Amino acid sequence: MKQQHITLSTRDGFSIALNIQCPTALSPETKAIDVLDMFSEENDMPALPIVDDAQHAIGLVTRRKVLAVFAHAYARELNRHKKIDIIMESSPIIVDLNTPIETISQAVTQRDTTHAFDPIIFTQHQCYVGLLSVVTLLKAMTDIHIKNAMDCNPLSALPGNHRINREIDYRLQQHQAFTLVYVDLDSFKAFNDCYGYERGDRIIQWTAHLLQSHCQSHDFVGHVGGDDFVLLLTGDYMPPLQAILHQFEQEIVSYYDDDAQQRGFIISKNRQGDAQKFPFISISLAVIPCPAQSYASHIHLSEVASEIKHLAKQQQGNSMVVNRRNPIPS
């Protein structure tokens, strides 16, 4: 069977090369008995697409459905003159080549089990291109998960720099409105020096969980590295950020020894090696609203974020600074 090489993209910018099968499409006028003969001659053909005169995909015929219809003793004679519509799957998954592979995968997993392994029909400019098997799709999704895992921070299991940048660029290119939040922990190094890296790692993991717990499924949480995180929020950003500030302030104290809790500070060495009093770890939120078509790329946005982050870190204690300036349209 003829095949064609295609490239699908993920939402965050990965490209996956795949081979799709390209069987000759059938006409709605094709007789059902002729389709049975086609499947009898081609044992490795799981399905055939049906297209109209404009080559627009309108349906799918599967080997499973054909064999089920013609399974009875007199089915061949009864259906000899009937057209293909008696064996056609009228609601197959039909997607354009530009559809993100995650969207395709979601559509496959949401259909009923009867059609679980029916192939996906691909089109370009609404015209039939070929069929993608579910097994090939699953292999591609596995490769994507492996690549994503390689880009995750091993401590927090959150997406790292590359995926953060791709996610930002994707939302900008799709003209989506969102809010970028740069999250940074203050006085974290002093805590690490005083209590050791193992307890410091527990704070990083707790912070990652805290951020995720106040985000919705359509939001994004990434871990730049160290004690720096990034949030991409949709909708009203103020309620989740206020909840993050409140919970962080309430719970961070529990990570300190009783003596430190009574004093309200720890004694650790500064960057010059001198003993110094340090307050408890606080969290700084640099907030940059990003209206649709507001920034050209993650590079342009990171320049603004760096400035707002600097302002947030200058404030004492837990803080949030929001960029109130209108971005220059890209």
Euclidean distance between CA atoms 321 and 307, whole angstroms: 10
Query: Do 128 and 57 contact (CB within 8 A), yes or no?
Result: yes
pLDDT of the residue at 9:
85
**What are the per-10-residue average pLDDT scores of the chain (330 residues)?**
87 82 94 93 91 95 92 87 91 93 92 91 95 93 82 90 90 92 94 92 97 94 95 96 97 94 88 85 96 89 91 91 75
pTM: 0.68
Q: Dig out the tokens for 261 from the structure.
A: 């809790």
Helices 298-314 & 161-173 angle (0-180, nearest 10): 110
pLDDT of the residue at 250:
95
pLDDT of the residue at 329:
53
DSSP labels, 82-146: -BGGGT-BSS--EEETTS-HHHHHHHHHHS-GGGTTPPEEEEETTEEEEEE-HHHHHHHHHHHHH
- What one-character DSSP code corresponds to residue 213? H
Domains annotated on the chain, with CATH: 3-143 (3.10.580.10), 152-322 (3.30.70.270)
Q: Dig out the tokens for 31 from the structure.
A: 């007789």
